[in-house]
Amino acid sequence: MHRAINDMVFKYIFGSEERRELLKAFVNLVLERAGLPLASTISLKTPFLLKQFVKDKDSVLDLRAEDEMGRVFNLEIQIAKHPGFAERALYYWSKIYGSQLRIAESWKNG
């Protein structure tokens, strides 16, 4: 029950066009602390990672955003330690990364 409420609050604060600048500030704070280039624009994207095969797992991210350089951000809120979080985060990352690759594009450009 608490997870659903926290997700709703997180999405309310960061997941709307009206609060896009707040989301950008949050993303840039994380990027700055990681020593990475800041985003000058952020746009919200659908949080659904569509299946490619019938037996694939459905995935819905808390928030998904993209900056002007095409970098995709998956923002997840966790209030408690979850034993499967590392695997879930890796799975989400792989789906997002794979979705950005284009036919005949070099792997290092992805």
User: 20-33 vs 2-14: helix axis angle to the nearest 10?
Assistant: 100
Checking if the pLDDT of 100 tops 60, the result is yes
The pLDDT value recorded for residue 32 is 93
The pLDDT value recorded for residue 34 is 92
The pLDDT value recorded for residue 94 is 83
Checking if the pLDDT of 108 tops 70, the result is no
Tell me how far apart the alpha carbons of residues 41 and 32 are, in angstroms, rounded to a whole number.
15
Q: Where are the domains of the chain?
A: 2-109
Tell me how far apart the alpha carbons of residues 16 and 5 are, in angstroms, rounded to a whole number.
17
pLDDT tens string 35-94? 988 888 888 776 666 666 677 766 666 777 888 888 888 887 777 777 888 888 888 888
The pLDDT value recorded for residue 35 is 93
**Cα angle, residue 77 at apex, residues 75 and 81 outer, rounded to 5°:** 130
AA identity, residue 40: S
Residue predicted with more confidence, 64 or 106: 64
Tell me how far apart the alpha carbons of residues 25 and 42 are, in angstroms, rounded to a whole number.
10
pLDDT tens string 14-49? 788 888 889 889 889 998 999 988 888 888 776 666
